[in-house]
Amino acid sequence: MYQEDIKGEIRDLLRKRNAVLLAHNYMRDEVQEIADITGDSLALSMEAARTDADVIVFCGVHFMAESASILSPDKTVLLPRLDAGCPMADMVTVEGLLEMKSRLPGVPVVTYVNSTAAVKAHSDICCTSANAGRVVDSLPDSEIIFAPDRNLGSYVAKSSSKKFHFWDGFCPTHERLRPEQAARLKAEYPDALFICHPECNPAVTALADHACSTSGMYDYCKKSPAKRFIIGTEAGILYRLKKENPDKEFILASPALICPNMKLISLEDILASLTHMSPEVRVPEDIRVPAKRALDRMLAVPRD
């Protein structure tokens, strides 16, 4: 079947099922193209919490679909590929987190949304890369446990007076961008601004003109008078950056910046998922309720 025919069938089924298609900024170009909403983890969880659709087709990775199900338990949440996981989310287990909490009694746990629902259920508050600083600042405590991303944690810690206890997790995709590579490109394109995601290694973030969430990059590049940007995040971001800024040039900081999990969902998978109404992601109530508390606390933190 031609791509345009598949897209037409998807749109028909979305209407028939009163479904909304949410896609993360790292999805394949053609998936972003047919999505109702594209965004970063924060924007997508906010949309999942407020949509009045009956069905959410989540084009992202497993923890994102879980968050949608936690926030909207009365809706059917479809993840067209159940094998689209996040290796960083799997780096922290409930047992490990409980052990760390027992060593640091009374210290609140701030958990990056890139984590399982079960880990969220044992956390005080969640954060995304777009609001991590504000979430940390919102807590009255002088010490925090930050899990699972040590890179995002140390980025936030740089502008916080609190003492951070880091979980030793990381994103394998962002970690592949080495500081030497970023420095080489900066030297090659001295007029370019280097923008990276805070999931990058601190040695890379230290070289950046700006570090922010994926949606933050769209705003920054649109507003900036610069004409050339070196981009330190997953390659999927380029689709919208190029579309929204046809007069600007975007250089991916490394060809290794491809997350295999974020590239799994195809148009065919979405069509099959909407046809069979599966695979569905649903979080059991005993995990969902405490996990929702941590997500709700995050969503209540005022935006700038």
Taking CB atoms within 8 Å and a gap of at least 24, the contacts of 239-242 are: 239/29, 239/32, 240/25, 240/32, 240/38, 241/217
Question: Cβ closer to ligand 13P: 172 or 290?
Answer: 172
* Residue 41 contact among ligand SF4, ligand 13P, none, beta carbon within 5 to 8 Å by kind: ligand 13P
CA distances from 163 to 6, 136, 137, 158 (A): 51, 11, 12, 10
Which span (122-130, 222-230, 265-273, 286-294) binds ligand 13P, by CB under 6 A? 122-130
| Largest Cα–Cα separation, the chain | 58
**Do 277 and 76 form a contact (C-beta atoms < 8 A)?**
yes
* Residue 51 contact among ligand 13P, ligand SF4, none, beta carbon within 5 to 8 Å by kind: none
d(CA 63, CA 239): 23
Q: Does 38 bind ligand 13P (CB under 6 A)?
A: no
Lookup: tokens for 10: 């998807």
Give min distance, CB of 21 to ligand 13P, in A: 17
Question: Cβ closer to ligand 13P: 113 or 283?
Answer: 113
- HSE-up (13 A, CA, CB side) for residue 21: 27
Question: Cβ closer to ligand 13P: 41 or 76?
Answer: 41
List Cβ neighbours of 213 (8 Å cut-off, separation of 6 or more): 40, 41, 42, 128, 129, 130, 197, 198
* Residue 261 contact among ligand SF4, ligand 13P, none, beta carbon within 5 to 8 Å by kind: ligand SF4
Which of 51, 67, 214, 254 touches ligand 13P by CB under 6 A?
Answer: 214
Which span (7-15, 128-136, 158-166, 245-253) binds ligand 13P, by CB under 6 A? 128-136
Q: Does 264 bind ligand SF4 (CB under 6 A)?
A: no
Which of 6, 49, 87, 248 touches ligand SF4 by CB under 6 A?
Answer: 87
Q: Does 41 bind ligand 13P (CB under 6 A)?
A: yes
Q: Does 213 bind ligand 13P (CB under 6 A)?
A: yes
CA-nearest of 110, 132, 161 to 304 is 132
